[in-house]
Amino acid sequence: MQLERYIAAVLSRRWLVVVLATLVMLAMTAGARFITVTNDYRVLFSEDNPQLAAFDALENTYSVSNAALIAIAPRDGSVFTREALVAIEELTEAAWRAPYSSRVNSLTNYTHSEAFEDDLVVAPLVEDASVLSDADVVRIEEIALDAIEIAGRLVAHDGRTAGVAINFILPENPDQAVVEITDYLNSILAEARANHPDIDYYMTGDVVMHRAFSDVTKSDMETLTPIVFLIIVGATIILLRSILGTVAIVAVLVFVVNTTLGFAGWNGVVFSPTNAGVPIIVMVIAIADSIHVVTSVLLGMRRGLDRNTAIVESIRINAYPVFITSVTTAIGFLSLNASDSPPFHVLGNYVAFGVLCALVYTMTLLPALLSILPLRARRVQAEGTAFFDRFADFVIARRTFLLSSVSLVIVVLAIGIPRIELSDNMAQYFDERYEFRRDTDYVIDNLTGLDKLEYSLSAGREGGITDPDYLRKVDAFAEWYRQQPEVTHVQAFSDIMKRLNKNMHGDDPAFYRLPEDPDLAAQYLLLYELSLPFGSDLNDRIDVAKSATRLVVTTKNAWSRDIRELDKRAQGWLRANAPAFAQEASGLSVVFAHLSLRNINSMLRGTITAMVLISFILIWIFKSVRVGLLSLLPNFIPAIMSFGLWGYLVGHVGIASSVVIAVVFGIVVDDTVHFLSKYLKARREGLPAPEAVRSAFHMVGHALWTTTSVLSVGFLVFATSGFEVSWALGLLVTITIVFALVADFLLLPTLLIAIDRRNS
């Protein structure tokens, strides 16, 4: 009775309700201007992420690594021509003028050292390429392809591609700096292409990926949101067959999304590619509540009720299920706070807020609007309910067959789950519509890998890096890594010392080995450092106290599981051969490689907590442990089915998968709650189990079909994103929602009839 009095009050003061709701929405929307967007991929990692802490410590010890790599590929197939060397030299000089650049390494400015009489000569490999003779070019080619320090890193082993590596020191807020850097690099590449039309250029690296994050965020927010909105409007009109009913629903969606984004803005939220879909998800989920209410209103009017009576009746039968489904959905999204990746906290918190806003507006604004609009419906049985009456007859008549066949399908799909591997690939976060991905693929295939494992190898004392025993261990570790099939290049301090030892013995190849005398080795190093030109110091691989060196391993197109396994083998080698060096690898690739695993582990706790809470809520609302536990089956099973199918079709999941169950569980509970509430209502009225199932299909079958269709299409739009986290999340959620409808329409009714008949 209290609920009916509340609805009567809303309808009698409908204009006041609309005005107040509008004022609240406008006040909240004003905060949207404070929303900021970051493109920094570091936001994916929490402050207490141990791999990130180790990476930061490594960069504090040596130089910071924010790099761009430009690949130069002459169409004649060789970088060892005067024109190609001139192009590399020009690009190297231009790269030094890039904003925030701190170091540039290339084939032409490689600091080659050689003996000349009794002196050590250290100079760039190429100086003034335009005046080189043919003999000079041949000599440069021989040196470059034989130099272990750059072959496979700055020049391809086949000599067809070369690279210019640029390092940057970014300010505390890197977003604008990245835009300046990439704009500058694109401008010098445009000039290079004009000056050397027979040479192709490709650009990749951390800084370029940072800009790609910006592009994908902007693309997703600007294109996907209006697409989802139009799809929702079109689908709602088609499924409800009521333009005015759709207008009311769209108004609620606008209020919900604006309120959510405004609230985020007032709280100073920073969005990133991972959570850029907040407004889309809110829009897609919020429509479910409205559809249930409007569908029931139209159904009541078609049965002959006047508009306001139909509204009161609709709110009366839907208020409780809508409230419960909103709470369970919010709990599911709030569990994302357990994630190890902060952007998922933002996603969970603000989608949960949007869901609760949808509940409030559905119970206030929507009935007021429906009462104001001249809503009409023909007084006949709707085709949708007639169809679901027939569908109910089919389910009831073939319940045994359906129960066994659906169970068999579930088992077959579940077998696919062990096929899934937890793995990511940074470069493949973006699809081939992005130039970054295309250029990265070319660089990986033709020059060098981009994934790096880095180690800080301590000598244990100041000045200890020239100790022969230390150098032998470093060299042995580097040589072990060079034998691994995944590795394309290893940068080790021991290589420099072997080269210097050869130089100081008249470039005799027999002396390309580590010096035996630590004092002599220290002198070689000092002489070499004093001879290095500006910008070519060894700070990127030697610490200030000369007590440790940095070893960098480059791998080719490695997935995160490959990086983790490679490092695991390396740790085993270190424990057996150089226990003083034993440590986990560091580097940005390593941090990413552990992200999905850390997220899976953290989300496991959050998901279990959410499931327990939702389970207790279901048991409480249905006032039956038996029914409450039974209701969990059609909510757990869709996730099992979707991951099993994913295992068969794709075979790997990354960071997106870690949050799918938490996201979906709260959503798919909605259909179960609505179906069970109508079923139990019919049972309390004395109907037998089969008739109660038929009644539930009649009352909510069309609404469940409508909401599932809209939710599926809405989330499916994410599959068009060029960002893997977004499209994988969208596709997995869509598949799970569809399987949830199958479970609610085919499995749940047959289970209810079987169990209720057995109990009877």
**Residue 180 and residue 690: Cα distance in Å, rounded?**
68
Residue 265 sits in a domain of what CATH number? 1.20.1640.10
Which of 557, 585, 613 is at the close of a domain? 585
- Residue of 357, 399, 350, 409 lying closest to 738 (CA atoms): 409
> In the block, which residue shows the tokens 């999204």?
333
The single-letter code of the amino acid at 45 is: F
The single-letter code of the amino acid at 607 is: T
Q: Is the separation of the CB atoms in 729 and 656 below 8 Å?
A: yes
Where do runs of H (alpha helix) occur along 303-382?
307-334, 342-363, 365-372
The single-letter code of the amino acid at 363 is: M
> In the block, which residue shows the tokens 């009644």?
695
Show the tokens assigned to 490: 């290893």
**Residue 305 and residue 236: Cα distance in Å, rounded?**
22
What is the secondary structure of 260-318 as a DSSP string?
HHHHHHHTT-EE-TTTTTHHHHHHHHHHHHHHHHHHHHHHHHHTT--HHHHHHHHHHHH
CA distances from 300 to 297, 382, 682 (A): 5, 10, 17
Q: Which residues pair with residue 201 across a beta bridge? A: 72
Q: Is the separation of the CB atoms in 291 and 249 below 8 Å?
A: yes
Q: Residue 579 has what DSSP assignment? A: G
Long-range contact pairs involving 45-51 (C-beta distance under 8 Å, separation at least 24): 45/340, 45/341, 45/342, 45/591, 45/595, 46/340, 46/341, 46/342, 49/340, 49/591, 49/598, 51/584, 51/586, 51/590, 51/591, 51/594
- Residue of 636, 638, 642 lying closest to 618 (CA atoms): 636
Is 225 a domain residue?
no
- Residue of 281, 218, 228, 325 lying closest to 733 (CA atoms): 281
The answer on 189 and 110 residing in a single domain is yes
- pLDDT confidence of residue 120: 85
Residue 454 backbone dihedrals phi, psi, to 5 degrees = -120, 145
- pLDDT confidence of residue 131: 93
The answer on 496 and 485 residing in a single domain is yes
The answer on 601 and 462 residing in a single domain is no
The residue count for the chain: 760
Q: Is 386 helix (H, G, I), strand (E, B) or coil?
A: helix
Is 22 a domain residue?
yes
- pLDDT confidence of residue 236: 82
pTM over 0.85: no
**Residue 677 and residue 700: Cα distance in Å, rounded?**
10
Q: Is 750 helix (H, G, I), strand (E, B) or coil?
A: helix
Is 43 a domain residue?
no
The answer on 386 and 371 residing in a single domain is no
The answer on 613 and 554 residing in a single domain is no
**Residue 757 and residue 692: Cα distance in Å, rounded?**
12
- pLDDT confidence of residue 384: 52
**Residue 74 and residue 522: Cα distance in Å, rounded?**
41
Residues of the chain with pLDDT under 70: 1, 377-385, 656-658, 666, 757-760
Q: At what angle are helices 174-195 and 206-219 packed, to 10 degrees?
A: 110
The answer on 602 and 548 residing in a single domain is no
- Residue of 108, 180, 188 lying closest to 140 (CA atoms): 108
Q: Into how many domains does the chain fold?
A: 3
- pLDDT confidence of residue 654: 73
Radius of gyration of the chain from its Cα atoms, rounded to whole angstroms: 32
Three-class secondary structure assignment of 611-665: HHHHHHHHHHHHCCHHHHHHHHHHHHHHHHHHHHHHHHHCCEECCCHHHHHHHHH
The answer on 245 and 186 residing in a single domain is no
Distance of CA 410 to the CA centre of its chain: 28
> In the block, which residue shows the tokens 């592009």?
215
What is the secondary structure of 67-126 as a DSSP string?
EEEEEEEETTS-S-SHHHHHHHHHHHHHHHTSTTEEEEEESTT-EEEEEETTEEEEEES-
The answer on 452 and 388 residing in a single domain is no
The single-letter code of the amino acid at 416 is: G
Sorted by sequence, the CB contacts under 8 Å of residue 208 that are 6+ apart come out as: 68, 182, 185, 436, 439
Is 220 a domain residue?
no
> In the block, which residue shows the tokens 């700070």?
539
Q: State the Cα angle at 43 between 39 and 48, rounded to 5°.
A: 165
Which of 585, 603, 618 is at the close of a domain? 585
Is 427 a domain residue?
no
Is 465 a domain residue?
yes
Task: Give the dihedral of Cα atoms 500, 505, 506, 507; nearest 10 deg.
Answer: -50
Q: Which residues pair with residue 203 across a beta bridge? A: 70
The answer on 293 and 363 residing in a single domain is yes
Q: Is the separation of the CB atoms in 122 and 113 below 8 Å?
A: yes
Is 214 a domain residue?
no
**Residue 70 and residue 186: Cα distance in Å, rounded?**
10
Which of 363, 379, 395 is at the close of a domain? 379
- Maximal CA-CA distance, the chain: 108
Number of Cβ within a 10 Å radius of residue 507: 14
**Residue 399 and residue 410: Cα distance in Å, rounded?**
16
The answer on 651 and 638 residing in a single domain is yes
Sorted by sequence, the CB contacts under 8 Å of residue 201 that are 6+ apart come out as: 70, 71, 72, 73, 189, 192, 193
User: Tens digits of per-residue pLDDT, 460-495?
Assistant: 899 999 999 999 999 999 999 999 999 999 999 999
Q: Is the separation of the CB atoms in 152 and 489 below 8 Å?
A: yes
The answer on 520 and 387 residing in a single domain is no
> In the block, which residue shows the tokens 């169950």?
661
Q: Residue 535 is inside which H or E element, if any? A: none
Range of the structural domain that residue 342 is part of: 1-34+241-379
The answer on 481 and 395 residing in a single domain is no
Is 224 a domain residue?
no
